[in-house]
Amino acid sequence: MKSEPDLDGFKLFLQEEERTSNTIRSYLYSVKAFFKDHPELTKQEVIAWKAELSQSYPASTVNLRLNAIRQYAVFKNILLPVKLMKVQMIFNVENVITDEQYHHLMYCLKADGEMQWYYNILILAKTGTRISEAVRLKKADVIHGYAIMSSKGKVRTVLFPTSLQEDLREYLLRLENQEYLLQSTRCRGQKPIACRAFHHALQRFAERYQIPPEVMHPHSFRHHFGVKVMQKTNDISYVADLMGHSSISTTRRYTQQSVSQQQKKLDSAVDW
């Protein structure tokens, strides 16, 4: 006899676990998909489902589905020791903005009077925040010197360097009654700029200032921040904590070098 999943109960369970609305939606979809073709929640059935999914989806998507069904098993008090698929972490340092490109961008923004975007990018580049975090930063956070960020059930502290606080002193006066730090030049107000609008603006500046478009994305400035702090401190544990990484293996990618950097070191080393 085919089992029917308790989706309402599972939804309430996830809400009590403080999962995000997107996660809850994704998990409910995955559980519903599993029970559509599999009658019982057993290890054998989940392994079979895992094999089926791996034929059509990348490992990251398969693991997302498996995590959903494993959480459902926790909800139902069922032991389900099914392993996730191994995912090779890929980080392309070629798609991170360089020092030269960053300083060129900031110089051009100032020269063109694009001061709102100068400060928007400065905040992103000197805090190492994800764009989803940066758009939630407020004027009061600069004054306090830090911001408490909560995402996916995790809480981390975003610090404002003293130099950035000094750089933003004049900017805070310009914001007047606006609460959020990141603003749009087209629609200033009590709401921060949308993440998608930020990305589109960076692409416009890439074309205007002849910067490779592949390095002009919000996360590029977070990577640049991580690389620079790693180079200055050489302390991977500190950088991991600063960036909000749950695993040092994620932070280790900031020690990687681009092909041109590797070539330069190689040329210097091979002198025989």
Same domain, 111 and 207: yes
End-to-end Cα separation, the chain, in angstroms = 75
Same domain, 113 and 225: yes
- The per-residue pLDDT for 218 is 92
Q: Is residue 245 one of the residues assigned to a domain?
A: no
- The per-residue pLDDT for 185 is 63
- The per-residue pLDDT for 230 is 85
Q: Is residue 231 one of the residues assigned to a domain?
A: yes
Express each pLDDT in 49-93 by its tens digit: 999 998 988 888 898 999 999 999 999 999 888 888 876 555 556
The residue among 70, 54, 91, 56 whose CA lies nearest residue 14 is 70
Same domain, 45 and 154: no
Domain with 151 in it: what CATH number?
Answer: 1.10.443.10
- The per-residue pLDDT for 233 is 86
- The per-residue pLDDT for 21 is 86
Domain with 22 in it: what CATH number?
Answer: 1.10.150.130
Cβ contacts of 246 within 8 Å, gap of 6 or more: 154
- The per-residue pLDDT for 201 is 93
Cβ contacts of 260 within 8 Å, gap of 6 or more: none
Beta carbons of 36 and 69 less than 8 angstroms apart = no
- The per-residue pLDDT for 257 is 60
Q: Is residue 222 one of the residues assigned to a domain?
A: yes
Same domain, 118 and 218: yes
Same domain, 172 and 229: yes
- The per-residue pLDDT for 94 is 64
Q: Is residue 253 one of the residues assigned to a domain?
A: no
- The per-residue pLDDT for 69 is 93
Beta carbons of 188 and 178 less than 8 angstroms apart = yes
- The per-residue pLDDT for 237 is 86
Same domain, 161 and 207: yes
Instruction: Give dist(CA 260, CA 22) in Å, integer.
Output: 40
Cβ contacts of 267 within 8 Å, gap of 6 or more: none
Same domain, 129 and 226: yes
Same domain, 145 and 223: yes
Q: Is residue 130 one of the residues assigned to a domain?
A: yes
Q: Is residue 208 one of the residues assigned to a domain?
A: yes
- Could you list the residue range(s) of the whole structural domain that residue 112 is in? 100-235
Same domain, 57 and 124: no
Instruction: Give dist(CA 242, CA 223) in Å, integer.
Output: 12
All residue ranges of the chain with pLDDT < 50 are none
Q: Please identify, among 60, 75, 90, the residue that sits at the C-terminal boundary of a domain.
A: 75
Same domain, 44 and 169: no
For tokens 């060129």, the residue is 104
Same domain, 122 and 67: no
- The per-residue pLDDT for 33 is 92
Query: What's the structural domain count of the chain?
Result: 2
- The per-residue pLDDT for 88 is 58
- The per-residue pLDDT for 262 is 65
- The per-residue pLDDT for 93 is 60
Same domain, 53 and 117: no
